[in-house]
Every structure is written in C-alpha cells, then in structure tokens.
C-alpha cells in the first residue's frame, strides 16, 4: 500500500528499528469538523510525546491529507506543501534529544477514500469508520503500527441534526448556530486502528452491568420495536465475560451502534462496537439471525485485542481465536452445552473442508486464512483448557491480561503465563497446534464423537445422556428409517435439523412433520421441494412458522407446486417483510408480479416498489435481493440499470463484485 508520511527525515534508523524504540506518543487531542455535504474533514491535532533515544525524524501516517500549519514545541512552521520536505528538514535534529512531554500540533484537511464512509440513509446522512485493515490514518493522521498506543480524545463538530458516538466517555456537548461539538474522553491508551466514530440519527437506551459499567445501546428511531430482540442478552453476556475472564472491563463504557452498508459484521473499536444494521432484528428474525454472537465477539475483543494487542500479524490469533472462543463461552451460558458443542462441531467441519482442499494454514502464519485464525484458534483454546483444567486456564489468562494490559503481546507471553499457572511444559502442544499446519482432525473428532452415545431401546434408538460428548450428527446413509424414528424421539434441535438435512424427499412423511421444533421444520421446508399432495396441508402450515427463512422457502415452494392456490398463498403472506434485507417482501413482490390475474390493478405499484429497492437509499442487502429477482424475471428497467451501474462503485467489495458481474450480463 502506498503511504504518504507527514514528514520524512533522513531515515537511516528506520530500516532496522521501529519508531516506537525512539519516540513514545502519549496523548492525542483532536478536533474534527465533519463536512457532511462536501464529504471532507478539517482537523486540528495535538500529540504529546517523549523522545526515548535521539532521533532526527518523526513519522506520522497520513495518506492524502493536506497540511497547512505545524508546530513542534516552540517552533511554528507554515507549510508549503510541495516543498514540505525542505521545511521539515529544518526541524530535524535539534529538538529530538531524549526529553519528555514534547508537543506536536498541526491542522489538516482530508477527503478520505477509505476507512471513513459518508452515506445517505432515508434522506439523511450517516457516517462511520472502519480502522482495522483500512487504516485510521486515512482520516486521522496517526500510526498504522499497532504497537504505538495512545490516549485519543476526540471532539467532533457536526450539523446538530445528528448524534456523534466515539471512543470513551461523552463529557459534554457544546451548541452553536446549527452545529454541536461533541467531546469524548478516553482514560487509557489504544492502537490507532481502534479509533472510531459514527454519526447519524440515533436513539439510545442505557443499562448497567453488575459492576456498574454503562452499556449504551443505540438504534434508529424507527426501530424502537426491534430494540429488545436486537439487544437481547447484552447485559447477561457482559456480566458473564467480566466474571469468566476475571479482569474488570477495561474501558469507561460499552457502546453498540448499528450502521448501514457496513463492511463486516462488527468491529471492536475501543468501547465502541460498530456493527451492520442487518443484525437489527425483530423477535421472529431473532430465531435465524441475531446480534448475539457478533456482540459477544466484539465484546470479548475489548480485552483480547484492545486491552492487549498483538505485536504483529503472526499473533493475530491472540485476537480472533480468543474473541471466537470467549463469544462461544458467552453463548454457552445463554443457549446451553448442546449449542456450544454443535458450534465446535461446525468449526471443525470448516477446518476439515479447508484441509481437504489442501489449504490448511498454521496458526502463527500471518497469512493464515480467517478460518484458521478464528476457528482453529477457538479450538486450540478449548483443547488447552481441557488439558490443564478450568482453574489453571483462568488463572493463566488473568495473569496474561494483567501483566500486559494497555500494551502489546505475542504468543510466548500467553504460553508463558499458562505454563506457569499449570506447571506444565506446553512445547509439544504448541508445536502440534500452533506451529504445524496439520489439522489432526481425529483429535478434534474424538472430542465430540462417541458411538456409544447412540443406543438401541425397545422403542427405537436414543441418545444415552450419560455418555459424554455425543455431539455428532448421526450418519443416516442407509439408515433412513432409523433416523426417522430417531427424529420423533429426540429433542436435540441441532441434531434433528442435521438429520433432516440428510434425508431425501421420499423419506419425509406425515410423521416427520410431527415435530414442533422450528429449526427441524425449517430443514423440512428446505429438503422437500417437490411437495406430494398428501403432504400439502402439512407443508402449508410452514407458512405460519415464526421464521422468515421458513416462510420464504415455503412460500416459494407452495407457489411453484400448487398453481391453483397461488392467490391464497400470496394473500396469506402479503404483509410480511422479513429480515432487514426484506427477503420475504421482495420474493412476494416478484411472485405477485408474475402470477397471472393476481391483483392486475396493483401490478405497476408492485413493480415500482420492487424497482425502488434497487436504489442507494436502501442497504446493499436489500438492493442485492431486488437486483437478483428483477434479473431473474428479466425486468430490470432503466432506473434499475442506473442503480446497478452506480452499485458497481460501492465501497462494500462483495456487493461491488456482485453488481459488476450482473452489470456485465446487461
């Protein structure tokens, strides 16, 4: 990546040493004016730093920023940009002897082209940032090096129609002529990539953890009814993780803010979890898709990633493996042991698939896949804990966090504390699981697989609940009848769904529909696509299930199998929207349009609505659904095509790729 440095001195030392060996940046006070109309930032920053060893250069990352003023301690410089290196040349040497509390301040202007996003949402503005992998320095001159930790205090000036959320505690809001200035204060240092802000129209509710930490839950004003399901279990997870990790939550508060068109599911900015608004859900959507895992993951990062930060990509698993593992523990506390082991089972399948594709990577390889960093990292911690026991594991983790808090860590730092706490030599474990890329799938498998757990009884087969670790799907191949009987007997929703996935259509009968379990019924809806007439009534009952996935599949399959009842099915599902990506509504509009004689007078209204969903006013998930269906019924008109063209430049690369390939077809 091309980077522009604020000033480049003669850089002899930098080739062999990090700037952090010479300079220690302590605090940053930044005032940012966010110009929503021109998509531009005017900033004013004051950094304080100590000089540890004599040096003649300071490097700050600031691609694309323009500077017009700079002050280093008592010396002021007016910068003539094209000649800047000459000017900075004069600063060199003299002032950079070992010393404390030096002040560097400057003004700058930037139109960020990544890491900072200006969006439109229903005729208003929204802004959010994404530092990891995209570099905060694109909007805030700072340090792309994770090892430089600074206490950042941001104050942000923006149109008073909007709320501003940033790291730390909001200490005051100053009002003046159409603008508000929001002062945020941090007490502790963090890496630059964790600095963040979000601006938009939000309401919030605050709960307090058992330990008194404010949990600030933000939501769009129009989503007040989705508030409870979206933030369900937040306090429980927070209290659980504080207790489980054994180190108090390190920051002043924990804020959660949904944003439109986010690049990932969520991001663990210090004290500020910015997440995709696709995870804002109502009670029905909650069953299939919710914020619980993402919330727990980003929350766990507040310790693993934010409090202690990996020194380099080699130790990335200390962030992602830990966040994945602790999120799973928090979910176990909510959803139970079955859930925990079935997830581990799924992670193992993902690792196995990667291995079989010849793409296994090792945990300490900075270029590992995210499957390795997240899923194998999680498995390693699960196995390590099994090996040394709860007490030693928790003691070691606690020591590791305490010893390195607000600093950077590597894998040795962690292993050392675990070895001390357990009095075990872990070199064999480290070599096998962290250094080798071999998966050792059988070692994973024996942890959830036990044949003897499935036993025959008079009435069929049963899970022997006294057998340990029976979390493994029954292989139904050649045993379909036994599997069917088993379905009626078992109340393990995960296992049942996995059984149904393996059954072929001819093995689904009236008795299979006997289950009330929503996930098992969803698997039935998915498996049975050609519906025999004797199962018609049973299948129709799926339209009443409290699951938007089930409803979407059932509506489509019923519509396709029973043309004579199309109007009935459409009437029955007319008011259902579905997830935030409007999955049910968009399918419904498409079917209503292509169903002959169905509400002919409303067809143009429905077409307008469907085409409207392709516009940038909507989130990319909605747009993608609308584009896909319009393409399938070959009805992408000029306005749809314009929107598609515009989508080919979207900041979300997956959506951009989708739009490009569809646009290529047109």
**For residues 585 and 576, is the Cβ–Cβ distance under 8 A?**
yes
CB 45 within 8 A of CB 28: yes
Q: Pseudo-torsion of CA 614, 617, 618, 624, nearest 10°?
A: 30
Q: Is the Cβ of residue 381 or residue 647 nearer to Zn ion in the bound state? A: 381
- Residue 482: Cβ-neighbour burial (10 angstroms; 0-12, 13-18, 19+): middle
Q: Where does this chain touch Zn ion (CB under 5 A) — which range of 252-260, 312-320, 473-481, 531-539?
A: 312-320
Residue 323 in the binding site for Zn ion (CB under 5 A): yes
Residue 309 CB, nearest approach to Zn ion (Å): 12
Which SS3 state, helix, strand or coil, does residue 429 take? helix
Q: Does 194 bind Zn ion (CB under 5 A)?
A: no
Q: Measured from the CB of residue 28, what is the shortest distance to Zn ion in angstroms?
A: 24
| Stretch near Zn ion under the rule CB under 5 A, chosen from 48-56, 140-148, 316-324, 619-627 | 316-324
Q: Which two tokens stand for residue 589?
A: 């509009």
- Where does this chain touch Zn ion (CB under 5 A) — which range of 317-325, 427-435, 534-542, 575-583? 317-325
Whether residue 600 contacts residue 575, with contact meaning beta carbons closer than 8 Å, is answered with no
Binding of residue 380 to Zn ion (CB under 5 A) = no
Q: Which is nearer to Zn ion, 19 or 269 (CB)?
A: 269
* Contact flag: residue 330 with Zn ion (CB under 5 A): no
CB of 417 to Zn ion, least distance (A): 22
Nearer to Zn ion, 108 or 279 (CB): 279
CB closer to Zn ion, 290 vs 625: 290
**Smallest separation (angstroms) from Zn ion to the CB of 133:** 11
39 within 8 A of 127, measured Cβ to Cβ? no
Q: For residues 377 and 578, which CB has a smaller minimum distance to Zn ion in the complex?
A: 377
Backbone angles phi, psi at 183, to 5 degrees: -100, 115
Report the 10 Å Cβ neighbour count for 197. Answer: 25
Taking CB under 5 A as the rule, does residue 553 contact Zn ion?
no
CB 30, min distance to Zn ion, A: 26
* Smallest separation (angstroms) from Zn ion to the CB of 364: 18
- Residue 338 sits at the vertex; the CA angle it makes with 333 and 341, to the nearest 5 degrees, is 95
Q: Give the closest residue to 625 by CA, choosing from 664, 661, 597, 583.
A: 583
Instruction: Give the binding-site size for Zn ion (rule: CB under 5 A).
Output: 2
Residue 153 or 320: the one with the smaller Cβ distance to Zn ion is 320
What are the structure tokens assigned to 335, written together? 């959803």
Residues within window 632-651 making contact with Zn ion, judged by CB under 5 A: none
Cβ 322 to Zn ion shortest distance, Å: 9
Instruction: Name which of 320 and 492 has its Cβ closer to Zn ion.
Output: 320
* Residue 43 vs 305, nearer CB to Zn ion: 305
23 binds Zn ion (CB under 5 A): no
* Residues pairing with 327 in the sheet: none
Is residue 327 within the footprint of Zn ion (CB under 5 A)?
no
Instruction: Give me the least distance between CB of 262 and Zn ion, in Å please.
Output: 14
Q: Return the range that interacts with Zn ion (CB under 5 A); candidates 8-16, 30-38, 253-261, 319-327.
A: 319-327
Q: Token match 């044949």: residue? A: 451
**DSSP labels, 236-261:** HHHHHHHHHH-S---SS-EEEEEETT
SS (H, E, C) 135-178: CHHHCCCECCCCCCEEEEEEEEEEECCCEEEECCEEEEEEEECC
The C-alpha atoms of residue 36 and residue 40 are separated, in whole angstroms, by 7
CB of 275 to Zn ion, least distance (A): 11
Q: Which of 609, 125, 635, 36 is nearest to 644 (CA)?
A: 635
- Supply the minimum distance, in Å, between the C-beta of residue 258 and Zn ion: 17
Report the residue number, 208 or 264, with the smaller CB distance to Zn ion: 264
Q: Closer to Zn ion by CB, 305 or 473: give it.
A: 305
Positions that interact with Zn ion (CB under 5 A): 320, 323
């Amino acid at each position: 990546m091309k980077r522009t440095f604020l000033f480049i001195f003669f850089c002899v030392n930098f080739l062999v040493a990090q700037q952090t060996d010479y300079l220690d940046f302590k605090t940053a006070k930044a005032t940012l004016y966010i110009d929503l109309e021109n998509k531009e930032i005017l900033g004013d920053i004051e950094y304080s730093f100590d000089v540890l060893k004599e040096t003649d250069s300071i490097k700050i990352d600031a691609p694309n920023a323009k500077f017009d003023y700079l002050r280093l301690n008592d010396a002021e410089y007016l910068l003539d940009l094209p000649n800047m290196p000459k000017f900075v040349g004069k600063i060199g040497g003299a002032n950079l002897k070992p010393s404390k509390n030096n002040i560097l301040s400057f003004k700058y202007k930037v139109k960020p082209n990544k890491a900072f996003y200006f969006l439109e949402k229903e005729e208003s503005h929204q802004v959010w940032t994404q530092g990891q992998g995209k570099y905060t320095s694109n909007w805030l001159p700072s340090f792309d090096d994770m090892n430089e930790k600074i206490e950042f205090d941001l104050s942000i000036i923006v149109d008073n129609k909007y709320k501003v959320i940033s790291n730390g505690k909001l200490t005051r809001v100053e009002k003046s002529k159409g603008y508000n200035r929001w002062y945020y204060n941090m007490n502790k240092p963090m890496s630059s990539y964790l600095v963040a802000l979000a601006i938009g129209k939000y309401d919030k509710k605050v709960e307090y953890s058992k330990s008194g930490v404010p949990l600030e839950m933000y939501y769009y004003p129009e989503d007040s009814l989705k508030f409870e399901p979206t933030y369900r279990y937040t306090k429980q997870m927070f209290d659980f993780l504080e207790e489980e990790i054994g180190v108090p939550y390190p920051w002043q508060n924990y804020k959660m803010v949904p944003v439109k068109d986010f690049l990932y599911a969520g991001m663990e900015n210090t004290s500020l979890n910015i997440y995709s608004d696709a995870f804002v859900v109502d009670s029905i959507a909650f069953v299939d898709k919710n914020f619980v895992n993402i919330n727990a993951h980003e929350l766990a990062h507040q310790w693993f990633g934010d409090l202690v930060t990996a020194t380099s990509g080699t130790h990335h698993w200390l962030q992602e493996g830990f966040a994945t593992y602790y999120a799973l523990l928090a979910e176990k506390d909510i959803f139970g042991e079955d859930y925990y082991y079935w997830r581990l089972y799924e992670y193992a399948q993902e690792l196995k698939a990667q291995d079989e594709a010849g793409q296994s990577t090792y945990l300490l390889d900075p270029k590992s896949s995210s499957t390795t960093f997240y899923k194998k990292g999680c498995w390693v911690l699960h196995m390590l804990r099994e090996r040394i026991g709860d007490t030693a594991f928790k003691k070691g983790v606690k020591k590791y966090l305490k010893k390195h808090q607000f600093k950077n860590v590597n894998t040795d730092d962690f292993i050392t504390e675990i070895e001390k706490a357990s009095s075990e030599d872990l070199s064999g474990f480290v070599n096998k699981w962290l250094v080798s890329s071999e998966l050792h799938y059988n070692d994973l498998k024996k942890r959830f697989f036990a044949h003897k757990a499935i036993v025959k009884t008079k009435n069929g087969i049963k899970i022997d609940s006294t057998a340990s670790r029976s979390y493994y799907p029954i292989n139904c191949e050649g045993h379909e009848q036994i599997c069917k009987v088993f379905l009626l007997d078992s109340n393990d929703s995960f296992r049942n769904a996995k059984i149904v996935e393996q059954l072929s259509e001819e093995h689904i009968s009236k008795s299979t529909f006997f289950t009330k379990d929503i996930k098992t019924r969803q698997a039935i809806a998915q498996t049975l696509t050609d519906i025999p007439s004797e199962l018609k009534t049973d299948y129709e009952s799926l339209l009443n299930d409290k699951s938007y996935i089930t409803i979407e599949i059932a509506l489509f399959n019923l519509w396709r199998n029973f043309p004579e009842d199309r109007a009935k099915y459409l009437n029955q599902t007319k008011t259902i929207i579905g997830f935030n990506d409007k999955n049910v509504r968009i399918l419904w509009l498409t079917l209503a349009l292509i169903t002959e004689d169905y509400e002919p007078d409303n067809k143009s209204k429905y077409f307008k609505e469907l085409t409207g969903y392709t516009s940038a006013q909507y989130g990319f998930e909605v747009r993608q659904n609308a584009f896909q269906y319009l393409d399938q019924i070959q009805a992408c008109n000029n306005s749809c095509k314009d929107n598609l063209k515009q989508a080919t430049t979207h900041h979300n690369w997956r959506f951009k790729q989708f739009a490009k390939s569809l646009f290529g077809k047109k």
